[in-house]
Amino acid sequence: MISFRLTPELEQLQARARRFAQEEIAPIAAEYDRRGEHPAFVIDRAYEEGLINLSVPREYGGGGLGALANCIVTEELGAACAGITTTIMVNTLATTPLILFATEEQKQAFLKPLCERRQLAAFCLTEREAGSDAGNVRTCALPDGDSYVINGQKCFISNGSISSLYTVFALTDPERGTRSMTAFIVPANLPGVAITKVEDKMGQRASNTAEITFTDVRVPKGNMLGRDGRGFAVALKTLDFARAGVAALSTGVARQALELATAYIQQRIQFGKPISEQQGLQFMLADMAMAVEAARLLSWQAAWLSDEGLPNSKESAIAKCFAADTAMRVTTDAVQLFGGYGYMRDQPVEKLMRDAKLLQIYEGTNQIQRMVIARSLLKGR
Ligand SMILES: Cc1cc2nc3c(=O)[nH]c(=O)nc-3n(C[C@H](O)[C@H](O)[C@H](O)COP(=O)(O)OP(=O)(O)OC[C@H]3O[C@@H](n4cnc5c(N)ncnc54)[C@H](O)[C@@H]3O)c2cc1C
């Protein structure tokens, strides 16, 4: 039987996340967006509240919860600030390769210490020449005795300059190209790791995005995640898990825009009556609501498949793509419903619109999601 009712545990988790989002994130969101700064104290508080590292098993210091729980929390936090939520969500993105592919020894050495204290992690795949074409990675990790020596540069890395641990994708044999792509666990304090740029972004400005340069960074062979040459598979499996979370974050952003617009059009008087009495605007609101509901259900479906251990590549791509497009459309419509006031920084809807744009770009652009969906269909899946 299918049920759309959350379990009492998930309802409690949702209420806790909503309270935290409204009391501790929402009041400071605009200020940190304006400053383009990462509010470390809010991440400290999220850690104390147990709202970070949710999907890391309990024995390694995480929440021991699944993808669905992660979506429930992410939607709530996302409604308060997408940038701050991205900071929290990227810990899941960066730790998922360890949860799925690390040996017990690696989990004890890296995952447990990361989660037992309030620390951040980053997922380092993208390079200047390897964006949508992620297989075109040029960073190398060449074997040398008991170590690998990493050289290369990663760009647009969320949490890049505020993390203590990186999962890095590099080639162990450049002549074999993508077939030698391998994942490595790289502590951020190793000699040769340098932050060479911190990005100044259009939206999600409270999240940190940086370029990281690796120069002769020596990691022990024991830091290899999974098998040599399996890096692309590690990345894809991680993204399949994580995209349900991006869909949930998108749902949160869109939901917030819908709620603000619903309230605003009832109090804005033009032509002697609230503009909410105009049927054209009511229809806009209805379209926004339909999309928000559908986005949530798609994110839950992708997460549920993941929690059941079932394939979810197509479904997580559908959820991410639909929800991110929904966030963009709904926030744009919310600005429209606010009229000129919506375009001004005094009102919160312009931030939602700027934040939403990134949801269509990171963790695979929405064009790439459409490619994943179409390929899956053409293979009869
Ligand atoms: C703020 C931010 C945070 C990020 N965080 C991370 C992170 O933590 N870790 C990480 O590894 N990466 C991260 N990224 C990188 C992100 O995943 C890439 O930006 C994204 O995959 C697109 O790559 P690109 O920017 O090189 O664009 P390009 O690949 O150059 O794409 C440009 C345009 O062409 C389209 N396009 C490209 N190829 C095709 C095709 N075959 N068919 C149709 N259309 C196509 C794209 O959809 C896009 O519209 C982040 C990016 C941003 C902006």
pLDDT tens digits for 17-62? 999 999 999 999 999 999 999 999 999 999 999 999 999 999 999 9
158 in contact with ligand 1, CB cutoff 6 A: yes
Q: What is the pTM of this model?
A: 0.97
Do the strands 121-124 and 165-171 form a parallel or antiparallel pair, or are they unpaired?
A: parallel
364 lines ligand 1 (CB under 6 A): yes
Q: Is the CB of 336 under 6 A from ligand 1?
A: no
Measured from the Cα of 365, ligand 1's closest atom is: 47
Three-state secondary structure call for residue 217: strand
Q: Does ligand 1 come within 6 angstroms of the Cβ of 362?
A: yes
Report the distance separating Cα 72 and Cα 86, nearest Å. Answer: 14
Ligand 1 atom with the shortest distance to the CA of 132 = 29
Q: Across the chain, where does the E strand assignment appear?
A: 121-124, 140-144, 147-158, 165-171, 181-187, 193-198, 209-220, 224-225, 269-270, 273-274
The pLDDT score that the predictor gives to residue 381 is 86
**What average pLDDT does range 263-273 have in this prediction?**
98
Read off the tokens for 62.
Answer: 């995480």
Predicted confidence at residue 1, as pLDDT, reads 57
DSSP structure class, residue 107: I
> Active site residue: 75, 76, 211, 363, which one?
363
Q: Is the CB of 365 under 6 A from ligand 1?
A: yes
Ligand 1 closest atom vs CA 128: 26
Number of other residues whose CB lies within 10 A of the CB of residue 223: 22
* 248 contact partners, CB below 8 Å, separation of at least 6: 70, 71, 72, 74, 75, 78, 296, 299, 303, 323
Protein residue with its CA nearest to atom 16 in ligand 1: 362
**CA 132 to ligand 1 centroid distance, Å:** 5
pLDDT digits (tens, 9 = 90+) for 115-163: 999 999 999 999 999 999 999 999 999 999 999 999 999 999 999 999 9
The pLDDT of residue 314:
97
Task: Name the average pLDDT for the chain.
Answer: 97
What integer pLDDT is reported at residue 3 of this predicted model?
85
| Residue 371 CA to ligand 1 centre (angstroms) | 14
Q: Is the CB of 198 under 6 A from ligand 1?
A: no
DSSP SS3 for 257:
helix
Burial class (CB in 10 A: 0-12, 13-18, 19+), 109: middle
Q: Is 358 in the pocket of ligand 1 (CB under 6 A)?
A: yes
Q: Is the CB of 120 under 6 A from ligand 1?
A: no
Cβ atoms of 212 and 166 closer than 8 Å: yes
Across 261-278, average pLDDT? 98
280: its two tokens = 């054209």
Ligand 1 center–CA 226 separation, angstroms: 25
Asked if residue 71 has pLDDT above 70, the reply is yes
Mean pLDDT of 313-339: 98
Question: What number is the average pLDDT over the span 350-371?
Answer: 98
CA of 201, closest atom in ligand 1: 1
Token duo for residue 209? 């995005």
Enumerate long-range contacts of 194-203, CB under 8 Å, 24 or more apart: 195/160, 195/161, 196/153, 197/155, 198/160, 198/161, 199/156, 200/36, 201/36, 201/358, 202/354, 202/357, 202/358, 203/82, 203/83, 203/351, 203/353, 203/354, 203/355, 203/356, 203/357, 203/358
**Is 363 a catalytic site residue?**
yes
Ligand 1 contacts CB of residue 166 (under 6 A): no
Q: How far is residue 179 CA from its own chain's centroid? A: 27
Which residue has the CA at smallest separation from atom 37 of ligand 1?
132
Mean pLDDT of 153-178: 98
Tokens (6 digits) for 278: 């105009």
pLDDT band at 220 (very low <50, low <70, confident <90, very high): very high
Task: Check: CB of residue 298 under 8 Å from CB of residue 226.
Answer: no
User: Which of 361, 371, 373 for mutating ligand 1's site (highest number of atoms within 8 Å of CB)?
Assistant: 361
Percent of the chain with pLDDT over 90: 99
- The residue whose C-alpha atom lies closest to atom 25 belonging to ligand 1 is 131
